[in-house]
Structure 1
Amino acid sequence: MITENATRHHRGRILTGIGAAAALAVVLAGCSGDGSTPAEAGSSSNPSDSATSQLSQEVDTLSQPLDAYPVPTEAVTGVSDLAGGTVYYVPITLRAPQFAVTQSGIEAAAKAAGLKVQVCDGQGNPTGVSSCVDQATQAHATGIVLDGAPYDLAANSLDAAQAAGIPVILSNQIVDERHPVSKTFAYVPPAGSEQLIALSKWIAVDSDGTANILFNRSTDGPGQIAYVEAATTALPDFCPGCTATVYDVSSANFAQIPPSTSSALLKNPDVNYLVSEFAEYLHPASDGVQQAGMTGKVQMLAAAAALSNIEEVSKGGLAAVAAQAAAYQGWVDLDAVLRLVADQEVPEYTIPFRLFTPESAKDVTLTPEAEQSGEWFGPTTFTDQFKKLWAVA
């Protein structure tokens, strides 16, 4: 039984509706001091041999690249008229390695479209994010891409930007019904839940269906909370003998991650897998494992991974990681900005992701150039496809 309120993602992609996020916030308020909450999944019985085989095949599929990226098909008008303009890219925090890759992607896309990119670090707090958005508004930006931050973290500033006619893209967050899409606002949803579910499936196979998993859950926004909820909710479906426990962390309180991790482990000494919701939390969480005296017992995993994390997997330092196609997402983010400027409908984008295991991590070229090209996730021809859509090829 899972003891926390959770909502399954629509089509396995995103949670739509602030009601679910509000319910989760109530749960957070009722958690213990370190945010540790048990989320037991199912009974103690192991999955059948056939189910285990099927799950192993799913994990193998999740470890493979795509045959093609899901690039939109409708052309964008008037892109050449925007030459010389500036798009502001505002990640919630530049601590996250994924955002550095997205930054490279959006810079490459903007260059192809004749635009410039101004990067502003949100610093993981409302003041930082609001300041960045205000800077973009004052500079009469062509558009703003806010990455990983919920709307309410800078609601007044985002409202003011749109009132000034500047389109805003909210990337890597769930859809909030209180802030619906409009002619100046759109979402680019992430593969947040899918990555954590993929890691959980790998753990189920690796542990023969008997894992004790500890998830750290970011409280930076409703999306981050929802991704972990989706993973713990799905866990009984493929690993009824697994147990999950959740504890809370945040970008704004990085120094508290080691002690909160240690505390969660000491309260749950049977934990043998620790999943960091985002790769930025890996190292402080690892410090917490060491503080708890559980180094060597607990296998470490992470979502939203980047090059250095995949290198650690290939060398045996991490059990497995999941990553989404962050460079591709940079091109998608700019595509969304261009469509809003052109007063065109923004399509429902899908951001691919991939599971990197000790086996699959050895099959990719582990260089910054390969990471930025997007080749880990599929053919790199997506850049030419976007250029053609924008009539800048």
Structure 2
Amino acid sequence: MTRSFLTKVQRRAFGGVSALMLAATAMPAVAEADLAAAQAIIDAHKSLPTFQAPGKPFDARACMADKKILSIPASSSIPFAAGIGVGMEATAKEIGFELRVWQNQGQPTQWVQGVEYAIANGYDAVDVMAGIDPNTLAPQLKAARDAGLKVYATHHRDVADDTVDQNTDVSLPLDYSGVGEIIAAWIVAETKGNANVLVVGTDDVPPSQPYWKSFQAKLSDLCPDCKATYYNVPLADWATKIQTVTQSALLQDPSINYLFPIYDSMSQFMLPAKAITGRRDLPIASFNGTPFILDMIRNGDVTMDVGESLGWIARSAIDAYMRDLCDIGDTPDTLYVPFYIFDAANAETAGIPAELDKGYGDAHVPGYRALWGLE
């Protein structure tokens, strides 16, 4: 009797252990995040950028005498785009030629008016920059080229985008894909491999999708169990819709633990949503290095921004324009702008308040001056 009872107990125990073993075998394994690889990407962008000449030296003042360029940003209301324009105007003044930034509020009809103005007023070149797809202005840009103007497109696509920019003489894309990888690494490291990210993009700006997909791919690579959800808010609707999109997403999914507006000027519209939902401590990581966002890092409202010196962008773009206008040769086919991570540890280096071209060191200023024969 006793032996029979013990045998039943043993069988039950063994059966229980077997069931547990089978359950454990059936459960999906939790993939471990590669925090070391994430940190290596971060470390590579924590050192101040150095300058490397993008081409041969030339006499910029001589070649640009009496030349005029009109630059049309995607929207003058976006501080990032406006900052590039300020940098371009200052650089042109330093060299000694006229560059005018066409003020607009992001409406395609206003871009058209800018191109028509350049044609009618004797400009040598027109530039569409910081998010305008030149193919959306194909008839106007063709008219500009037919009238003898050079046409440039800058900071508008990802380097991996093989779209052909029709009716442009020089196209200068940026490595948005590389930025996506940096931010993915940052969020994985910050969350220790436990990220649920709300991503807000804007699909009417051409690099947005390659940039987002690069982020998504690197996030999955570094942290297979991390999650990211993408919402599209058109450029013209940032001020009216980013807050409501963010607020709704946070209420629907309280487990979201990181915000990633893909362009940093979007961050300002997320702050009210954080406050309303009681998530003021929710971190934000983004890209551009817009000065007022660097102030937000210093004040604790934003956690990290991958910066690109707006002054460096301006000099890089103008360097390429001049090489083309003056037939110097070796005109770059990408925008030469290093990326640099700003966080609470170094945000003050950008100034208090942050300035257009501060915090990145000054290697590009004497570098370009020497390249252009201004020293």
Which TM-score bucket, shorter chain as reference?
Answer: 0.7 to 0.9
Separation in 1, partners of 2:280, 2:374: 53
- Please tell me whether residue 53 in structure 1 is matched to residue 36 in structure 2: yes
Separation in 2, partners of 1:280, 1:367: 18
Higher relative contact order (CA 8 A, sep 6+): 1
Flag structure 1 segments of 5+ consecutive residues without an equivalent.
1-41
Separation in 2, partners of 1:347, 1:90: 20
Q: Residue in 1 aligned with 2:101?
A: 119
Does the CA contact (< 8 Å) of 1:87 and 1:117 recur in 2? yes
Separation in 1, partners of 2:30, 2:336: 36
Deviations, residues 356-379 of structure 1 (Å, cap 9, x unaligned): 1222324x14157x744x45234x
Change beyond 3 A, Cα 1:358–1:246: same
Separation in 2, partners of 1:180, 1:191: 17
Separation in 2, partners of 1:170, 1:86: 16
Does the CA contact (< 8 Å) of 1:88 and 1:136 recur in 2? yes
How many aligned positions are there?
342
Separation in 2, partners of 1:43, 1:335: 52
Q: Residue in 1 aligned with 2:217?
A: 233
Which has the larger Rg?
Answer: 2
Task: Give runs of ≥4 in structure 1 deviating > 4 Å.
Answer: 175-178
Q: Residue in 2 aligned with 1:27?
A: none
Deviation at 1:162, TM superposition (A): 1.7
Separation in 2, partners of 1:264, 1:314: 26
- Please tell me whether residue 382 in structure 1 is matched to residue 367 in structure 2: no
Q: Which amino acid aligns with 1:230?
A: S
Deviations, residues 49-84 of structure 1 (Å, cap 9, x unaligned): xx4234224313322212x22332313467514323
Deviation at 1:199, TM superposition (A): 2.1
Query: 2:227 is matched with which residue: 243, 247, 267?
Result: 243
Does the CA contact (< 8 Å) of 1:87 and 1:116 recur in 2? yes
- Please tell me whether residue 334 in structure 1 is matched to residue 318 in structure 2: yes
SS at match of 2:156: coil
Separation in 2, partners of 1:361, 1:215: 23
- Please tell me whether residue 143 in structure 1 is matched to residue 129 in structure 2: no
Q: Which amino acid aligns with 1:56?
A: Q
Deviation at 1:186, TM superposition (A): 1.2
Query: 1:352 is matched with which residue: 338, 343, 348?
Result: 338
For 1:215-226, list aligned pairs within 5 A.
215-226=199-210
Separation in 1, partners of 2:53, 2:278: 44
Q: Residue in 2 aligned with 1:315?
A: 299
Q: Residue in 1 aligned with 2:246?
A: 261
TM-score when normalising by structure 1: 0.79
Moved more, 189-198 or 325-334: 189-198
Does the CA contact (< 8 Å) of 2:138 and 2:166 recur in 1? no
RMSD: 2.5
TM-score when normalising by structure 2: 0.82
Separation in 2, partners of 1:78, 1:279: 33
Flag structure 2 segments of 5+ consecutive residues without an equivalent.
1-27
Deviations, residues 265-314 of structure 1 (Å, cap 9, x unaligned): 333332111111112211222233344x1423532222113222112212
Separation in 2, partners of 1:71, 1:354: 18
- Please tell me whether residue 106 in structure 1 is matched to residue 92 in structure 2: no
Change beyond 3 A, Cα 1:371–1:190: farther
For 1:194-205, list aligned pairs within 5 A.
194-205=178-189
Change beyond 3 A, Cα 1:244–1:163: same
SS at match of 2:174: coil
Change beyond 3 A, Cα 1:181–1:391: farther
- Please tell me whether residue 210 in structure 1 is matched to residue 206 in structure 2: no
Does the CA contact (< 8 Å) of 1:324 and 1:352 recur in 2? yes
Change beyond 3 A, Cα 1:98–1:210: same
Does the CA contact (< 8 Å) of 2:30 and 2:225 recur in 1? yes
Separation in 2, partners of 1:82, 1:132: 22
> How high is the sequence identity, in percent, across the aligned residues?
23
Separation in 2, partners of 1:133, 1:46: 53
For 1:166-205, list aligned pairs within 5 A.
166-174=149-157, 177=162, 179-180=164-165, 185-205=169-189
Q: Residue in 1 aligned with 2:3?
A: none
Separation in 2, partners of 1:43, 1:282: 36
